[in-house]
């Protein structure tokens, strides 16, 4: 059995899925959640965030570089590990099919060496899971076997690190075999890859994943991470910060959006970037430049998440949400529904 994340509930809200927890990882200091993870953080943010994301995109060319030794963990990943932080090395497999055995062994060994104390199972392109534009049971089965192979290959080398099982947000028919594999392997840490969707528009799928985990690993004893969270009405001038609101749906830490999102009516060449507003929990205005804005948003989100964490168990979250103008009754209803239908002892 793998090493496990130890999660201890400290307090919770009665009406929403938000808990304050102490989370312990092997050979690392305990961290407290809920929190926001950061990517490429500036010195300004280092003291207030405990989780550092390191995203590595894996293409066929990258695999070849790993195979021939021109790309090594000490060159491209380890310099980005930060001291006294939980460093999550996240491989994004930008592939349309499952790699062959030799390639998978190459990826698994590099991934293990590049990971600090948490083995975050790779995220994948939707193309790997689809056939003729639709999710395919056959492709999902191949995906599950790929994850099983990576896990078991890693276990054979005497693994002492913690696995974090990655679960794409999709219909229960397709997510069930993935969740089942991780629970069979004894995982207590899980990553929900939302795939740039707005999770509140996919409440049933999101709730299903949490319910299945909770059936075997009570959520107050688990670590739940979410990434690639979308926001509503992305191309409009103002959008509710649904990525941040995931903290009220049993997510302990939400991370970056590192996958691309298609569609929309933005002019060619105009990046779809918005400024996070703590006062209302929204994003507003479309900016022409990403310079400094991503870091500003991360700083503001970390600050607000830390504020929320200190309120859990002391102040009703309804009062907090009511104070945020962008959080409407519909959003509060969705969040309350998730908490109401997932019972935690």
User: How many CB atoms within 10 Å of residue 291?
Assistant: 10
DSSP for 159-198 reads --SEEEEEEE---HHHHHHHHHHHHHTT--EEEEE-TT--
Distance CA 256, CA 271 (A): 16
Domain with 105 in it: what CATH number?
A: 3.20.20.70
Mean pLDDT to the nearest integer, 38-43: 89
- Residue of 307 and 291 predicted with greater confidence: 307
Write out the two tokens for 282. Answer: 């929204």
Distance CA 34, CA 18 (A): 8
pLDDT of residue 322: 97
Are the C-beta atoms of 161 and 115 separated by less than 8 Å? yes
Give the domain extent around 57: 6-341
Q: What percent of the chain has pLDDT over 90?
A: 81
DSSP-H helix ranges across the chain: 43-46, 60-68, 73-76, 101-114, 137-155, 172-184, 203-216, 242-245, 293-311, 317-322, 329-341
In a domain, 96, yes or no: yes
pLDDT of residue 264: 40
In a domain, 109, yes or no: yes
Mean residue pLDDT across the chain:
92
In a domain, 14, yes or no: yes
Write out the two tokens for 241. Answer: 């910060």
| 329-341 pLDDT per residue, tens | 999 999 999 999 9
Distance CA 330, CA 328 (A): 5
In a domain, 1, yes or no: no
| 112-169 pLDDT per residue, tens | 999 999 999 999 999 999 999 999 999 999 999 999 999 999 998 778 899 999 999 9
Total domains in the chain come to: 1
Distance CA 206, CA 192 (A): 8
DSSP 140: H
In a domain, 164, yes or no: yes
| 48-90 pLDDT per residue, tens | 889 999 999 999 999 999 999 999 999 999 999 999 899 999 9
Distance CA 323, CA 311 (A): 14
pLDDT of residue 266: 42
In a domain, 185, yes or no: yes
In a domain, 124, yes or no: yes
Are the C-beta atoms of 192 and 225 separated by less than 8 Å? yes
pLDDT of residue 157: 78
Beta bridge partners of 126: none
The pLDDT confidence band at residue 286, using thresholds 50, 70 and 90, is confident
* Phi and psi angles of residue 194, each rounded to the nearest 5 degrees, phi first: -80, -15
Distance CA 254, CA 191 (A): 9
pLDDT of residue 261: 65
Angle at the Cα of 241 from the Cα atoms of 239 and 243, rounded to 5 degrees: 130
In a domain, 213, yes or no: yes
Distance CA 21, CA 38 (A): 19
């Amino acid at each position: 059995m793998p090493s496990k994340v130890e999660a201890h509930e400290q307090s919770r809200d009665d009406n929403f899925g938000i808990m304050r927890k102490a989370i312990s990882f092997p050979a690392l200091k305990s961290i407290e959640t809920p929190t926001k993870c950061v990517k490429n953080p500036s010195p300004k943010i280092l003291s207030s965030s405990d989780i550092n994301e390191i995203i590595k995109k894996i293409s066929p060319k990258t695999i070849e570089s790993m195979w021939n030794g021109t790309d090594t963990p000490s060159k491209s990943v380890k310099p980005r590990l930060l001291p006294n932080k939980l460093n999550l090395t996240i491989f994004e497999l930008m592939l349309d099919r499952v790699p062959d055995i030799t390639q998978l062994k190459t990826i698994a060994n590099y991934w293990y060496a590049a990971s600090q104390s948490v083995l975050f199972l790779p995220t994948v392109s939707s193309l790997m899971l689809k056939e003729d534009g639709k999710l395919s049971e056959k492709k999902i089965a191949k995906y599950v076997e790929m994850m099983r192979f990576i896990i078991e290959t890693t276990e054979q080398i005497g693994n002492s690190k913690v696995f974090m099982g990655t679960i794409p947000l999709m219909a229960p028919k397709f997510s069930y075999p993935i969740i089942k594999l991780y629970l069979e392997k004894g995982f207590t840490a899980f990553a929900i890859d939302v795939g740039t969707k707005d999770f509140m528009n996919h409440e049933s799928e999101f709730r299903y994943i949490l319910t299945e985990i909770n059936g075997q690993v009570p959520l107050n004893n688990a670590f739940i991470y979410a990434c690639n969270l979308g926001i509503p009405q992305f191309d409009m001038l103002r959008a509710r910060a649904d990525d941040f609101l995931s903290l009220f749906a049993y997510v302990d830490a939400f991370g970056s959006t590192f996958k691309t999102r298609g569609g929309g009516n933005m002019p060619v060449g105009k990046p779809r970037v918005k400024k996070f507003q703590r006062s209302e929990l929204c994003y507003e205005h479309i900016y022409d430049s990403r310079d400094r804005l991503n870091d500003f948003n991360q700083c503001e989100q970390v600050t607000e998440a830390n504020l929320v964490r200190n309120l859990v168990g002391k102040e009703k979250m309804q009062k907090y949400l009511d104070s945020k103008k962008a959080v409407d009754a519909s959003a509060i209803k969705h969040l309350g529904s998730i908490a109401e239908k997932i019972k935690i002892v």
